[in-house]
């Protein structure tokens, strides 16, 4: 873990505190956040949008032409509509590109068919980079999703029966977070050298002899009321609003702002050779706009928390996670 994780107050908590101070000036807006799910298009896409000249030939002044970007996401949403509208006011035209896969957003970004994506935390990004020898990088942080243990049958963690089946994500990044949550809830113990990528093999003590059912993270929330499962471990934003499940229904909620959750901060990611694009400064300002905070609160309520972590810390943690991933 990085040195900043040893401080009394985590960077995430400090970042949220600063964000709340800014967004509460002027109007009463609840601050919390954005649901993430972005995933990029699977069809053949056009080459990245051309950038306008940064200075006019005659006067050297900045061009007033809008900048066009394609950003991979998972689905259309009112929140994305709000981002697109505010961005247009600031001179940035966004084209959201949707897919239903958690690999294509990164492979299409690496191939240059989109300019960025907005669906992943840095732990997932580190695993992709390590496995594919790529150098995708964050340009700024967006949100962190609240995770917890949910059950349609148990009313507390203690009610989970011996030998019960618990659904956890089958990918290394989300699966690791689920196992950390189960440990925090007192259900299991993980090895001291688990790192940021704990796996089922790292469980050293399992007094209830729980069985772990590994499923795609995107489908776990839909298995919530499966009678064969005693509980599911998943992010609150994964539940469909029609299910009526909120953080209040969790048997145990993770502390999303704890220092150990820095790997789970979601980001806007791009290629390393594109990280200096002026579009990202504009887009970061868009995410800081009070109207975007309001749109996120309306759509996602308390499922996610808006954060503003310095990009240097994100990239340093990404590099650390990539080294760990390369060893696995």
Residue 38: CATH number of its domain: 3.40.190.10
CA 235 to chain centre: 10
Q: Do 238 and 89 share a structural domain? A: no
Q: Do 91 and 48 share a structural domain? A: yes
Among residues 235, 254, 273, the one where a domain terminates is: 254
141 occurs within a structural domain: yes
Using 50, 70 and 90 to split pLDDT, how confident is the model at 274?
very high
277 occurs within a structural domain: yes
Rounded (5°) CA angle 1-16-325: 25
By CB atoms closer than 10 A (0-12, 13-18, 19+), residue 241 is exposed
- Which residues touch 124 (CB under 8 Å, ≥6 apart)? 102, 171, 173, 174
186 occurs within a structural domain: yes
62 occurs within a structural domain: no
Spell out the long-range contacts of 185-194 with Cβ–Cβ below 8 A and sequence spacing 24 or more: 185/149, 185/157, 185/251, 185/252, 186/157, 187/157, 187/160
Q: Do 139 and 30 share a structural domain? A: yes
312 occurs within a structural domain: yes
Who has greater pLDDT, 102 or 228? Answer: 228
Q: Do 112 and 190 share a structural domain? A: no
Among residues 254, 270, 304, the one where a domain terminates is: 254
Scanning the structure block, which residue is given the tokens 């696995």?
A: 328
287 occurs within a structural domain: yes
Q: Do 114 and 176 share a structural domain? A: no
Q: Which domain holds residue 36?
A: 3-56+67-145+260-327
Q: How many domains does the chain have?
A: 2
Task: Tell me the pLDDT of the chain averaged across its residues.
Answer: 82
Among residues 254, 283, 311, the one where a domain terminates is: 254
Structure tokens, 256:
């999303």
Model's pTM, two decimal places?
0.72
Q: Do 139 and 123 share a structural domain? A: yes
Q: Do 106 and 29 share a structural domain? A: yes
61 occurs within a structural domain: no
User: What pLDDT score was predicted for residue 296?
Assistant: 87
Q: Do 171 and 133 share a structural domain? A: no
User: What pLDDT score was predicted for residue 303?
Assistant: 85
Q: Do 48 and 20 share a structural domain? A: yes
103 occurs within a structural domain: yes
- Alpha-carbon distance values, 84 to 64, 69, 263 (Å): 18, 11, 27
pLDDT tens track for 107-137: 999 999 999 999 999 988 998 999 999 999 9
Q: Helices 78-89 and 279-287 meet at what angle, rounded to 10? A: 120
Query: Residue 140 pLDDT more than 50?
Result: yes
Q: In what order do the strands lie in the sheet with 211-215?
A: 211-215, 165-169, 231-235, 147-150, 252-253
Collapsed DSSP state (helix, strand, coil) of residue 269:
strand
Q: Do 268 and 239 share a structural domain? A: no
Q: Do 167 and 133 share a structural domain? A: no
Measured CA to CA, the distance from residue 166 to residue 182 in angstroms comes to 10
Measured CA to CA, the distance from residue 138 to residue 69 in angstroms comes to 16
Q: Do 165 and 131 share a structural domain? A: no
Scanning the structure block, which residue is given the tokens 């994964």?
A: 238
């Amino acid at each position: 873990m990085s040195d900043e994780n040893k401080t009394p107050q985590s960077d995430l908590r400090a970042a949220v505190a600063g964000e709340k101070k800014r967004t509460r000036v002027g109007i009463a807006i609840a601050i919390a956040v954005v649901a993430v799910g972005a995933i990029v298009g699977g069809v053949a896409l056009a080459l990245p949008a051309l950038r306008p000249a940064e200075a006019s030939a005659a006067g050297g002044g900045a061009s007033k032409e809008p900048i066009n970007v394609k950003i991979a996401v998972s689905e259309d949403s009112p929140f994305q509509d709000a981002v697109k509208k505010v961005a247009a006011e600031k001179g940035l035209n966004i084209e959201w590109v949707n897919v239903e896969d958690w690999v294509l957003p990164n492979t299409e970004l690496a191939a240059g068919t989109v300019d960025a994506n907005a669906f992943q935390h840095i732990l997932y990004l580190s695993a992709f980079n390590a496995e594919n020898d790529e150098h995708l990088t964050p340009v700024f942080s967006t949100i962190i999703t609240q995770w917890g243990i949910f059950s349609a049958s148990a009313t507390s963690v203690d009610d989970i029966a011996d030998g019960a089946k618990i659904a956890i994500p089958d990918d290394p990044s989300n699966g690791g977070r689920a196992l950390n949550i189960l440990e925090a809830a007192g259900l299991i113990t993980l090895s001291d050298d688990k790192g940021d990528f704990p796996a089922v093999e790292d469980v050293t003590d399992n007094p209830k002899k729980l069985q772990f059912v590994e499923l795609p993270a995107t489908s776990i929330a839909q298995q919530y009321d499966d009678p064969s499962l005693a509980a599911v471990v998943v992010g609150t934003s994964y539940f469909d609003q029609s299910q009526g499940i909120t953080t209040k229904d969790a048997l145990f909620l993770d502390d999303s702002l704890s220092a150990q959750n820095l790997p789970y901060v979601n980001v806007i990611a791009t290629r390393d050779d594109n990280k200096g694009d002026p579009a990202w400064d504009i887009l970061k300002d868009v995410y800081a706009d009070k109207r975007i905070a309001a749109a996120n609160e309306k759509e996602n309520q308390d499922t996610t928390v808006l954060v503003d972590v310095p990009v240097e810390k994100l990239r340093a943690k990404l590099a650390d996670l990539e080294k760990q991933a390369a060893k696995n």
